[in-house]
Amino acid sequence: MRDNFDAIISRNTLFWLLVTNVAVLSPLYQQATLWSIGICAICFVWRVGIYLGKVAAPPKLLVTSLAIGAATTLALVSSEIGLLNALVNLLILGYALKYIEMREQRDVKAIVLVGYFLIALTLLDQQGMLNTLHLFTVVIINTGILISVYQDKSNKFANLGFSVKLVLQSLPLAILLFVVFPRLGPLWLVPNMKSATTGLSDEVSFGDISKLTRSAELAFRAGFENLDGSTTGPANQDLYWRTLVMESYDGKTWRQDPSIKNLQRQAYFQKPQRDKAILTGQSRKIDYIVISEPSHQKWLYGLDEAFSDNSQVVELPDYSLYSLRSVDQRMSYRVTSYPDNVMELTLKDNTKKLNLALPPNSNLKTQALAKKFAQDYPDPQARLNAMMNYFAEQAYYYTLSPPPVGEQQIDDFLFENRAGFCAHYASAMVFMARASGLPARMVTGYQGGEYNPQAGYYSIYQYMAHAWTEVWLEGKGWQRFDPTAMIAPQRILDGFDATFDSQSSYLQDSPFSTLRMKQYPWLNELRQQLSSLDYYWSVWVLGFDEERKQQVLSKLLGDVTSSKIALMMIFSFIIIALVIGYYAGLFSQDTQQDPLNKRYQLVCQRLAKRGIPRPQGQAPQDYANDVVARLSDKHPRLAADFNALSQAFMALKYQPLTPEQSLQQQQQFMRLYRKLRLRLLRS
């Protein structure tokens, strides 16, 4: 087929281009600069004016000026927004500017092709179920626009229906390749977009974690896979999701050990190896899958002691999990935890020194209290128990809005304010343990989880962020101590909502959060059902790794071999080709009858049963005259309707009509056809 590049763009195509322009660009608003959004808005409004006939096409000088201004602005801000963000904005601006200067059908093809690139780019960053459905719809509309260039119809939805058929016909092949094709690792590293990080930080000061209690965002989800087939995990008080370990303290801020940060930087080129020699067959094992939400950071989550076979996950010496790449989209990884394992039975001298260090002349009152504990309780375990009981016996309070502290933070907290959040209590416990001669460190992560019985998984939100203490004991390794359990035991036993009012914490800044449905049972059940769909999508589509692939193929083929996979692919290709060929009419021996003729003949056949047959070769007008002559006395309405049907039929078949006239005659014919078909059937 030869392209008619000079053909005028139809209004049908222009209408769907307006729809697609918004649908393609709207998911990229987070990456677009204000300048890019402004230019896109100008181009869209101008195009609406052209569509409505209010304005003419813009002069080329204006389009060129916008392009030069946009390129200059991007060059100036590229260092601030990042290289990839700059390239995304450049593509967005190219799409918008080409859209406003569009004059011929070849311009439409260029816009459609760039639209496919933008859809693919969006899919790299937004792979949620709703995002995918949205982009799937945009693909259908974009394909319909391309079809309209070659096959324009007056009905706005005609080309869209053909596009739906094409896309649906491609789905079986896409599903087959998705299941069978090997999972390949990334062939290159894409520069990260400069996006705001969410969740925990690698530095913790008083009040940092309490800020997360005002966030209702989902941090990650975890689905347990027990041997008995159940999906429930450990009790809430055992759900300590380890994320970061803080060992350096300067009197104000807790930080990761520089040696750990150095390992993180080198992890992509040289993976650190954690000692697994302590694993035994008698160790209690917990298998689960974690689906992390985008945090634009690299630390991951796991219960103690966590191991993962995922090639993109690193097991650090401080028993945390670390991703080789920034978590810029949902990430699924499998974890096996051994909660009874001893963590670091033998402590190295440099590690011991680091976890005993205290800032000079810092919190002298707390140091004096710790030394008294050491004097009264020589046994380390008894000493730590006494410290824990100290928080329960004294008048301490757990609050989301702790009062401010001065330079001697822990002294002010322990002896003056006596009110704080988890970071306050964990910091004080670590400081006292170190001052009494016991190596200790702070661990940050999340505690608890909301169980969804519909799909059997746990949702962990940002407001569940938590900090606790680890103390190293001879012969026992690192042991967890959580002072929060002494001050607010319900926070640990039953979760965050058992202690704090959601309206004054994580829902205060989230007026549209779905967590507000929790107070209404039927709405909460609906929320969990919708969340279950998204969870299944994450597990079976986004998390479809080699292990799940082998499970599916084993159910289909039994023993999975290369020859069986090849035969399955060949057989599937043949079936798909036959189905497409059937719907394309390749196996039809007779030419398909025109639907207009078919409907007209059906009415004629029903009139023949009433004694008014149509002789072979008789013209439609002559037959209409016969029917009117025979029925006008007894059934005048029927005669008039058939005569009108015949006039519409002849106009559509033999008269040159404009698109508007053709549509009008088609509607008239279909209305009369449905009316006559039912009337003749009843009589």
Residues belonging to the active site: 422, 466, 482
Give the count of alpha carbons within 13 A of 386, CB side only.
Answer: 18
Q: CA 318, CA 257: separation in Å to the nearest integer?
A: 10
Are the C-beta atoms of 610 and 683 separated by less than 8 Å? yes
8-state DSSP, 404 = P
Residue 447, SS3 per DSSP: strand
Are the C-beta atoms of 467 and 480 separated by less than 8 Å? no
Laid out side by side, the sheet with 218-224 consists of: 306-307, 331-337, 286-292, 218-224, 457-461, 450-452
The answer to whether the peptide bond before residue 101 is cis (omega within 30 degrees of 0) is no
In the block, residue with structure tokens 């608890």 = 448
In the block, residue with structure tokens 């009589």 = 683
8-state DSSP, 317 = T
Burial string for 239-248 (b: 16+ CB within 10 Å, else e) reads bbbbbbbbbb
The pair of three-digit structure tokens given for residue 146, joined into one six-digit string: 């391309």
Q: CA 71, CA 80: separation in Å to the nearest integer?
A: 15
The pair of three-digit structure tokens given for residue 497, joined into one six-digit string: 């909502």
Q: Which residues pair with 322 in a beta bridge?
A: 299, 314
Q: CA 462, CA 594: separation in Å to the nearest integer?
A: 62
Burial string for 11-40 (b: 16+ CB within 10 Å, else e) reads ebbbebbbebbebbbebbeebbbebbbebb
Residue type, 349: D
Q: CA 415, CA 424: separation in Å to the nearest integer?
A: 12
Sequence-distant (6+) residues with CB within 8 A of 440 are 355, 429, 430, 433, 434, 469, 470, 471, 472
Residue 397, SS3 per DSSP: strand
DSSP string, 247-280: -EE-SSEEE--HHHHHHHHHTTTS------TT--
Q: What does R_g of the chain's alpha carbons equal in angstroms?
A: 35
